[in-house]
Structure 1
Amino acid sequence: MAVLAVGGCRFLQTQGMVTMVKNIFVMALDEFNREMLERLQGADEMRFHSLLDMETAVDTRYYDIPLLLDRARLQLREFPGSIDAIVGFWDFPTSTMQPILRREFGLRGPSLESVLRCEHKYWFRVNEAQFAPEQTPAYAAVDPFDERYPEHVPLDYPFWIKPVRSHSSQLGFYIGDYASFADALGEIRQDIHFLARPFNELLAYAEIPDAIKAVDGWHCIAEEIISAGRQCTLEGYILNGEVVIYGTVDSMREGIYGSSFSRYQYPSDLPEGVKADMCEMASDFIRQIEFDNSPFNIEFYYEPASGQVWMLEVNARCSKSHSLLFEMVDGTSNKQAMVDVALGRKPVFPEGGGDFSVAAKFMLREHDDAFVRRVPTDEEIAAIEADMPGCRIQIVAVEGRRLAQLLHQDSYSYETALLFIGGDSVEEVEDKSRRVKARLHFELER
């Protein structure tokens, strides 16, 4: 195989055939996800370039949107080769920046407005209520700075409240009474600026109905609590109007309010009829909001006793949390759909599948703050992974810092580590997780 460079473009020459190399720009590409991208089918005909960096686009509490967009534009304009796609798997703000950059550089992808119909939590509920009122929980827009609150209650207790644009359940609170509402409003008023300001800067690029425009990034949404059932996420893509759902992942929760995810498990063991109903609902909704040419994932809740299905949230991207699970079970990650759809071609998944029948991502959590005296060393992690095929470990806690200093945590817990584990059965996966946890040596000082 030879690489040819002609007029700023790169070509692969294999056995007399010449193929143009596709340059894929990935928002804030880290090494863990680069390795997965390079294992995709057809990856030898692609070059992956990080667009922006983790430090300024993801791992921060200060998003300078004008600066980030200008840096991305400059990087793209100065690139000497073809620009064939812009993709990403992180949440806010890069997921909202992508359609702006794609539009400016003439690349395939959904419109900014259709992405916002998913990401703006209030606008999403308005669309959902019009499309499927029976699957839509009660909701209300809340201005946290309105002096009527907390005396005025937007919904009957209990309810959840969270910013109209957030991620990782940041500033999301369970509201059970007046006192918890007052406490939550205090925290939201103090911290919502780090989400509200950059979100409003991105909203300025979109055409938004007046009724939605009034509920900007400084607002929250209150939502009816749905808890008596099972949560799952459908992963799929839409290409030129054709929707394909390729997997369903179960989501397990923990904590006093069920506020924190403890495990994602693939494939889901929900009844096939329930999954089929969710697929139909997801496909109809995606088309209804005129979302096209992108991967997506949609979170649902199913109540077995009543048969009720609720649509919880739509994300205009593939889920990075699920990527390794798909690779372990199906032989390639959901990033296959992300890249292929961005290039305008139907994703091709391997026929043989992966090495395992079941895979799960475990989130190891602490529910109280602590000072991190020690985390497992790289050598200890490598030894565990070598002893246990189908195991990948990521340490989240940072030695020498408090758990409360970690970025992108929910309001009720702190992640210390992530375990990706594959096995031939749920029982084997759970057994592996117990053995891994027993060998992970953390020292936390309360």
Structure 2
Amino acid sequence: MKMKSAQNNIFVFGADQFNLTQMQALDSAANYRFHELFSFRQVKSGREFPVKALYEGALEQLKRFPGSIDAIVGYWDFPVSIMLPLLRKPYGLASPSYEAVLKCEHKYWCRLEQKKIVPEYIPDFCAVNPFADEPGQSITVAYPFWIKPVKAASSHLGFKVRNDAELKQAIQTIRRNIFRFANPFNYMLQFVRLPDEVANVDGNYCIVESIISRGRQCTLEGYVYQGEVTVYGVVDSIREGQHRCSFARYQYPSTIPQRIQQEMTAVTRHFLEYIDFDNGPFNIEYYWEHHQHAEDKIWLLEINTRISKSHCPLFRDVDGATHQKVMLELALGQKPDFPYRQGSYKVAAKFMWRIYKDAFVRHVPTANDLSVLKRQFPEADIQLHIHSGMYLSELKDQDSYSYEIAVIFLGGNTQKELLQKYRDVQQAMRIELEPVDGQISN
């Protein structure tokens, strides 16, 4: 029998230092003992996600652990989010069911379930096999549309398609690269009995959806505890780029009207109750179309069965704690107790520094440079994704239109102050890029 310790043993699946440091800074961290259950690099950095080795290896590591196993958590998307219910089940830990999680993770299955219960909030959609001889013949959605794999992350292999030529080009790219998510996702499908309408739509398929990128985008962060749905924050998602397909920043709190936020919350509650999602965090993305002389329109974009790690510093800066607090308390079977507007700033953002053409990296700030920057901008958290001597095209899991070279978290008391701080940090970093073909766009 495993012995219960004074501290709760919490296993972090896909642990990384940035997020571990934030969790260790929580007021409640004295009650926790964190254990790495594979590192971020082991989980996410390979050519293909080694899901079989991760699943079996995690079960073995947990089995060997001499103490009590009080919680298993993760804040990454696939394959972490989808595997957590399977790892928790042998220990009777609080968790959404695997079927409820998979209904959200499988983009086509999720749309089918939404169509049954909230059809007025979703776009026209269909499934398509990109490996069919003539994939376009099975597409029932009119141009322009968005095509993406039924399982991916960070808009990987997502394309806005306006005509036959663009569809042909997108299909060719998808065929070459879909294996990275498709093969491991297909492994995960064996753990549940799929309904007939979904059974043949595996990870090698794509979903096509009519364009819903008009209006303002936001994300509801919330949780379900013993059947009760709670939304504790709404974050605006601001896009940029030629097709407005790339995220420029996430900003909290949202400036979308409360009446719209309340309707989004009602839709969220209705759907999550319908699929029996319980005892877990979620984030759910929406678009709001505002019309002066017509009724407003709300679109449900996507559901994720985890907190958004990207929003953690934003909640810390504005509310006084990262919402990893919510994730941890739920995983321990506790009702979350999350602060409100107790942070140091009135507004906060995660800026995603993007470049829109491939380039060779001539110079990036050294570790010492970043330490100097931290003293100059003490409120900034900087994550650099590139190093000198690489090409931007070597970055993994990017969206289809840009390269994310760094993320910068900042807080401020007004949006104007926040944007100026971001420009100042960018300039101080002195990143040097040499274009591969033509002028660099950023």
User: TM range, normalised to the smaller chain?
Assistant: over 0.9
Question: Is 2:138 aligned against 1:132?
Answer: no
**CA deviation vs aligned residue, 1:361-418 (integer Å, no higher than 9, x gap):** 0000111111112111122222222222321111011322111111111111001110
- Tell me the secondary structure at the aligned position of residue 135 of structure 2: coil
Structure 1 stretch 229-238 or stretch 72-81: which is displaced more? 72-81
Report the residue type matching 2:430 in the other structure: H
Distance 1:171 1:354, change over 3 A: same
Q: Over residues 18-47 of structure 1, what are the superposed CA-to-partner deviations in whole Å (9 max), with x where a residue is unaligned?
A: xxx101111111110011111223110111
Which of 349, 353, 368 is 2:357 aligned to?
368
Q: Which amino acid aligns with 2:107?
A: K
In the superposition, the TM-score normalised over structure 2's length comes to 0.95
TM-fit CA distance, 1:153 = 4.1
Stretch of structure 1 that moved more, 64-73 or 361-370? 64-73
Displacement of 1:56 in angstroms is 2.3
- The answer on whether the counterparts of 1:230 and 1:303 sit within 8 Å (CA) in structure 2 is yes
Structure 1 residues 97-246: aligned runs within 5 Å: 97-150=83-136, 153-246=139-232
User: Structure 1 residue 354 and structure 2 residue 349: aligned?
Assistant: no
Aligned to 1:423: 412
For 1:240 and 1:7, how far apart are their aligned partners in 2? 27
Deviations 1:289-329 (A, max 9, x none): 11000000000000011410011000000000001100111
Answer yes or no: is the 8 Å Cα contact 1:372–1:400 preserved in 2. yes
> Matched residues in 2 for 1:270 and 1:386: separation?
34
Residues of 2 paired with 1:102 and 1:40: CA distance? 23
Residue identity matched to 2:48: Y
What is the SS of the residue equivalent to 2:27?
coil
- Give, as a single letter, the amino acid of the residue that structure 2 aligns with 1:322: H
> What CA distance in whole angstroms lies between the structure 2 residues aligned with 1:323 and 1:261?
17
Letter in 2 for 1:396: H
Deviation digits for residues 50-76 of structure 1 (CA, Å, limit 9, x no counterpart): 111222211223112111111101110
Distance, in Å, in 1 between the alignment partners of 2:281 and 2:51 is 24
2:267 aligned residue (281, 291, 313)? 281
Per-residue Cα deviation, 1:84-105 (whole angstroms, up to 9, x for no partner): 1111110011111111111233
Q: Residues 318 and 341 of structure 2 are in contact (CA less than 8 Å); yes or no, is this contact kept in structure 1?
A: no
Unaligned runs of 5+ in 2: 436-442
Q: Any conservation in 2 of the 1:169–1:410 contact (CA below 8 Å)? A: yes
Say if 2:71 and 2:331, in contact at 8 Å, map to a contact too.
yes
Q: Equivalent residues in 2 for 1:309-324 (5 A)?
A: 309-324=298-313
Distance in 1 between the 2:112 and 2:231 partners?
24
How far off its partner does 1:191 sit?
A: 1.0
Contact 2:146–2:210 (8 Å) recurs in 1: yes
Pick which of 396-405 and 212-221 moved more.
396-405
Cα deviation for residue 151 of structure 1 reads 5.5
CA RMSD after TM alignment: 1.4
Query: For residue 55 of structure 1, what is the aligned residue in structure 2?
Result: 41
SS in structure 2 at match of 1:10: coil
Q: Is the 8 A contact 1:110 1:292 kept in 2?
A: yes
Q: Does 1:413 align with 2:399?
A: no
SS at match of 1:341: helix
1:314-364 Cα offsets, whole Å, 9 max, x none, are 000000000110011101111111000111111122467111110000000
The residue number in structure 2 matching 1:297 is: 283
Task: Please give the secondary structure, in 1, of the residue aligned with 2:181.
Answer: helix
Provide TM-score, normalisation by structure 1.
Answer: 0.94
Task: Pick closer, same or farther for the CA change 1:67–1:248 going to 2, 3 Å.
Answer: same
Partner of 2:71: 85
2:247 corresponds to: 261
Say whether the 8 Å CA contact 1:241–1:292 is kept in structure 2: yes
Q: Which residue of 1 aligns with 2:438?
A: none
Partner residue, 1:403: 392
Is the contact made by 1:41 and 1:336 (CA closer than 8 Å) also made in structure 2? no
Q: 1:7 to 1:245 in 2, by over 3 A?
A: closer
**Alignment match of 2:327 (pick from 330, 338, 342):** 338
Partner-residue secondary structure (3-state), 2:5: strand
Query: Structure 2 counterpart of 1:237, which letter?
Result: Y
Structure 1: tracts of 5 or more residues without a match: 1-5, 12-20
Q: What is the DSSP-based 3-state SS (H/G/I as helix, E as strand, rest coil) of the residue aligned with 1:167? A: coil
CA distance, structure 1, for counterparts of residue 360 and residue 66 of structure 2: 47
Task: Name the SS of the counterpart of 2:15 in structure 1.
Answer: coil
